[in-house]
Amino acid sequence: MDVLADPIQRAFLGVERSVSGQRWVSRLDQAGQNRALAISQVHGYSELIARVLAGRGVGLDDAGAFLDPTLRALMPDPDILTDCRKAAERLADAIRRREKIVVFGDYDVDGAASAALMVRFLRHFDLTTEIYIPDRIFEGYGPNPQAIEQLIDRGAELIVTVDCGSTSHESFAVAAERGTDVVVVDHHQVGSTLPPCHALVNPNREDDLSGQGHLCAAGVVYLVLVNTLRVLRLKGDSRVASFDLLSLLDLVSLATVCDVVPLKGLNRAYVVKGLIAARHMGNAGLAALLRKAAIGGPVTPYHLGFLLGPRINAGGRIGDAALGSRLLTLDDAAEAEIIAGQLDELNRDRQAMEAAMLAEAEAEVLAEYGTGEGASVIITARENWHPGIVGLIAARIKEKFRRPAFAIAFDPNGRGTGSGRSINGFDMGRLVRAAVDSGLLIKGGGHAMAAGLTVERGKLGQLRQFFEERAETAVRDLVAVQTLKVDGAMAAAGATLDLVDLLDQAGPYGSGHPQPLFAFPQHRLRDSRQVGANHVKVTLEGQDGRRIEGIAFRATETPLGAFLLGNRGATVHAAGSVSADLWQGTRKVQLRLTDAAKAH
């Protein structure tokens, strides 16, 4: 049962409106509770793990396999993807003929990891392969005719695009005229008319029935490589036996987490097995970046998404777009340390730029939309912004105002480069494509949760109106009842490391597979104080005197932060997720607060 569609469901702990303006509800309806009980009884799992599984749609018969996701069980036959065998055959032919291959990638983590995957694979077969990452500012997203011309002039015999290319009609027409084959491996949404290329492997193309549309580009690349190995094996290539494709799952895991694709099906196996590969530190570039990020303990999805991802992205945002992909292809530890250091420095610069831009964006939103409650889609734009950071600004605005949001950086000529982030349930990619079809955008595309666009300043007003009209009904319905889904209640004494380890078995968590959220009822707020730039650290005490420490990230200027800092000593209901925090060699439980309410 959908909580949003069930207005009579009782509020969890009676919290009708929390300090963040949310109504707390149980993630499980009655049917879900029955399913959780059955999972617990049949499989012998703890009640808590059973509730977490049931709350994420796991059925009674699937529970065992869900807790141990394997590639063998979840990977489809790659041939089921449209054009995958055709792409594999062309790659195998290029390997056998020792052609010069250029891998054309995107400038984000998924693009960098996808390019590195392809290059590491081709390198095993002694091919000299070039990676080309377009400059985010001067070239924009995806292949452009000028770059294609240059690559062919330099001897490219086959161009493989990864994480881009599904809509590059003009660019691939140039390649066709020059007699150069293009193989596209992508996952972005694509129209009914396909660009002229030898093969286009994209589970989101209209004639693909594989059911793998949730994969990121690196996940699709991996399937293409599996198929290519099979083709080479059939052709009698003895080098296939010595290639360990499983060792490259660290790159697939990194891309899957950082591209925020749903952690379901094959994606879960990619991340679980990829984390194992990452912990072996076999990739010199990843190992160097892990050291720069000062990660203690085993690599987790959090480390990939919040510590490694931003550093790799920093190159594409404000520096050399090719740094990330170059780092991930390195075997030389010394060179990897140098590039990891450059990316770490760029990331610090990016953080400073982001803070300044966000302050301007929030001021503009408040002036243009007030509290934002009357808006369907928020658009904020400035001339002095760095176009490589607008996606981060859009994400922050979306989080704060709970509306689909775009941030646009205009150049002196009045051309704006924008990026958008959506709320769950609203397809932003479709909205942007509709604006392209209506002639309001120079270009644009993306997927349900994120999109990019290019617009002339003179059409910004029309674009605001177009987005508002197209999104009004859908967004209004999605935000009409803002709920916080709670998996269960516990006391500070129950938040143990054993519990965290049990919860990890049901992970990894992320998009489409949310982190379990628990309520801590009637706990005394023993202490609260600001730490870092804008975080709030708290100590909660249960009725038995047991305590748990927690932190609310980026909360000082939010209603949650104000409540926590202003109610020391009060008895509250708190909500958040529990995880293991490693500090100076000691592992302990930490609560990450997401909401709170007065306890009556």
Rounded Cα–Cα distance for residues 596 and 574 (Å): 4
Give the mean pLDDT of 49-54.
Answer: 92
The closest alpha carbon to 310, from 240, 391, 377, 397, belongs to 391
Rounded Cα–Cα distance for residues 36 and 58 (Å): 9
pLDDT tens for each residue of 335-370: 999 999 999 999 999 999 999 999 999 999 999 887
pLDDT of residue 115: 98
- What CATH number is attached to the domain comprising 445? 3.10.310.30
- What CATH number is attached to the domain comprising 133? 3.90.1640.30
pLDDT value at 7 more than 60: no
Residue 421 included in any domain: yes
Confidence of residue 372 (pLDDT cuts 50, 70, 90): low
Rounded Cα–Cα distance for residues 560 and 571 (Å): 15
Confidence of residue 189 (pLDDT cuts 50, 70, 90): confident
Residue 130 included in any domain: yes
Alpha-helix runs per DSSP H in 196-332: 217-234, 249-258, 266-279, 284-292, 301-303, 309-318, 323-329
pLDDT value at 4 more than 60: no
pLDDT tens for each residue of 470-506: 999 889 888 876 889 999 999 999 999 999 988 988 8
In this structure, are strands 571-583 and 586-598 parallel, antiparallel, or unpaired? antiparallel
Residue 350 included in any domain: no
Domain boundary among 295, 329, 345: 345
Confidence of residue 8 (pLDDT cuts 50, 70, 90): low
Q: Are residues 196 and 128 in the same domain?
A: yes
Residue 563 included in any domain: yes
> What token pair was written down for 250?
């660290």
Residue 60 included in any domain: no
The closest alpha carbon to 101, from 38, 167, 154, belongs to 154
DSSP designation for 200: E
- What CATH number is attached to the domain comprising 534? 2.40.50.140
pLDDT of residue 236: 96
Residue 177 included in any domain: yes
> What token pair was written down for 77?
């036959």
The closest alpha carbon to 196, from 156, 148, 131, belongs to 148
pLDDT value at 32 more than 90: yes
pLDDT tens for each residue of 376-426: 999 999 998 999 999 999 999 998 888 999 999 999 999 999 999 999 889
Contact in structure between 317 and 350 (CB atoms under 8 Å): yes
Residue 519 included in any domain: yes
Contact in structure between 181 and 100 (CB atoms under 8 Å): no
pLDDT tens for each residue of 117-162: 999 999 999 998 999 999 877 887 789 999 999 999 999 999 999 9
Contact in structure between 200 and 168 (CB atoms under 8 Å): no
Least confident of 277-281, 351-355, 367-371, 512-516: 367-371
Q: Are residues 466 and 539 in the same domain?
A: no
Q: Are residues 197 and 328 in the same domain?
A: yes
pLDDT value at 587 more than 90: no
Q: Are residues 81 and 179 in the same domain?
A: yes
Residue 198 included in any domain: yes
Q: Are residues 95 and 177 in the same domain?
A: yes
pLDDT of residue 582: 75
pLDDT of residue 67: 87
Strand partners, 158: 101, 181
Instruction: State pTM to two decimals.
Output: 0.86
Domain boundary among 479, 495, 513: 479
Supply the mean pLDDT for the chain.
93
Q: How many CA atoms lie within 13 A of 133 on its CB side?
A: 25
Domain boundary among 479, 511, 527: 479
First to last CA, the chain: 29
SS3 599: coil
Give the mean pLDDT of 87-106.
Answer: 97
The count of domains in the chain is: 3
The closest alpha carbon to 389, from 422, 369, 413, 361, belongs to 361
Q: Which residue has the tokens 């009579």?
A: 8
Alpha-helix runs per DSSP H in 370-523: 390-401, 428-437, 460-479, 497-505
Q: Are residues 247 and 269 in the same domain?
A: yes
Contact in structure between 20 and 595 (CB atoms under 8 Å): yes
pLDDT of residue 459: 96
Percent of the chain with pLDDT over 70: 98
Q: Are residues 442 and 560 in the same domain?
A: no
pLDDT of residue 1: 31
Q: Which amino acid is at 447?
A: H
Q: Are residues 151 and 245 in the same domain?
A: yes
Q: Are residues 305 and 437 in the same domain?
A: no
Q: Are residues 531 and 416 in the same domain?
A: no
Identify the residue with better confidence: 574 or 298: 574
Q: Are residues 21 and 135 in the same domain?
A: no
Give the mean pLDDT of 34-48.
Answer: 92
Domain that holds residue 497: 6-26+487-598
Q: Are residues 418 and 380 in the same domain?
A: yes
